[in-house]
Structure 1
Amino acid sequence: MRSVMIMAKRGPGLRARALLLVLVSLLAAVPAIGLILSTGGRAEAHGTPMKPGSRTFLCWQDGLTDTGEIKPVNPACKNAQQVSGTTPFYNWFSVLRSDGAGRTRGFVPDGQLCSGGNTNFTGFNAARSDWPLTHLTAGASVDFSYNAWAAHPGWFYVYVTKDGFDPTRTLTWNDIEDRPFLSVDHPPLKGSPGTVEANYSWNGRLPAGKSGRHIIYMVWQRSDSQETFYSCSDVVFDGGNGEVTGIHEPGNPTEPVPGACTATRRTTGTWSGGYQSEVTVTDSGDVPMLGWMVDWTLPSGQKVDSLWNGAATYNGQAVMVHNAGWNGSLSPGQSATFGYVVSGTGGDGATGLPCRVG
Structure 2
Amino acid sequence: MKPRTIPRSPVLLALLAALPALLLVMVSSGPAAAHGAMMQPGSRTFLCWKDGLTPQGNIDPRNPACDAAVTQSGDNALYNWFSVLRSDGAGRTVGFIPDGRLCSGGNPAYSGFDLPRAEWPLTHLTSGGRLDFSYNAWAAHPGWFHLYITKDGYDPARPLRWDDLEDRPFLTVDHPRVTGPVGSVEGRYTWTATLPAGKTGRHVIYSVWQRSDSQETFYGCSDVVFDGGNGEVTGVGDTGGTPGPTPTPTGTCSAAQRTVGTWNGGYQAEVTVRNTGTAPIPSWMVHATLPDGQRIDSLWNGTLGGSGTAVTVSGAAWNGSLAPGATTTYGFTATGGAPPATPQLSCMVHH
TM-score by length of 1: 0.68
| Paired residues for 1:83-94 under 5 Å | 83-94=72-83
Check whether the contact 1:115–1:122 (CA below 8 A) recurs between aligned residues: yes
More helix by share: 1
Name 1:202's counterpart in structure 2: 191
Moved over 3 A (4+): 249-257, 260-270, 279-289, 322-337, 340-343, 352-357
Name 2:237's counterpart in structure 1: 248
- Matched residue SS, 1:124: helix
Name 2:268's counterpart in structure 1: 278
The alpha-carbon deviation at position 261 of structure 1 amounts to: 10
Q: Deviations over 1:123-142 (max 9, x none)?
A: 11110000000111111122
The separation in 2 between residues aligned to 1:356 and 1:253, in whole angstroms, is 17
The alpha-carbon deviation at position 189 of structure 1 amounts to: 1.0
Name 1:110's counterpart in structure 2: 99
| Paired residues for 1:261-340 under 5 Å | 266-269=259-262, 276-279=266-269, 292-294=287-289, 308-309=294-295, 324-325=307-308, 328=311, 333=316, 337-339=333-335
Name 2:28's counterpart in structure 1: none
Alignment root-mean-square deviation, CA: 3.9
Instruction: Give 5+ residue unaligned stretches, structure 2.
Output: 1-6, 8-33, 275-280, 297-304, 317-329
Letter in 1 for 2:156: P
Letter in 1 for 2:81: W
Q: Deviations over 1:255-281 (max 9, x none)?
A: 569xx99786554446xxx89522478
The separation in 1 between residues aligned to 2:107 and 2:37, in whole angstroms, is 14
Check whether the contact 1:327–1:336 (CA below 8 A) recurs between aligned residues: no
TM-score by length of 2: 0.69
The separation in 1 between residues aligned to 2:149 and 2:270, in whole angstroms, is 42
Check whether the contact 1:149–1:194 (CA below 8 A) recurs between aligned residues: yes
Name 1:233's counterpart in structure 2: 222
Letter in 1 for 2:334: F
Structure 1 residues 148 and 354: alpha-carbon distance in aligned structure 2, compared to 1, 3 A threshold: closer
Q: Deviations over 1:127-179 (max 9, x none)?
A: 00000001111111221111111121000000001111000001111111110
- Matched residue SS, 2:50: helix
Instruction: Give 5+ residue unaligned stretches, structure 1.
Output: 1-35, 37-44, 296-303, 311-321
- Matched residue SS, 1:57: helix
| Paired residues for 1:64-143 under 5 Å | 64-143=53-132
Letter in 2 for 1:293: A
Name 1:16's counterpart in structure 2: none
Name 1:150's counterpart in structure 2: 139
The separation in 2 between residues aligned to 1:195 and 1:234, in whole angstroms, is 23
Q: Deviations over 1:83-126 (max 9, x none)?
A: 11111111111111111111111111111100101111111111
Name 1:317's counterpart in structure 2: none
Residues paired across the two proteins, number: 284
Answering whether residue 35 of structure 2 is matched by residue 49 of structure 1, we say: no
Name 2:210's counterpart in structure 1: 221
Letter in 2 for 1:67: Q
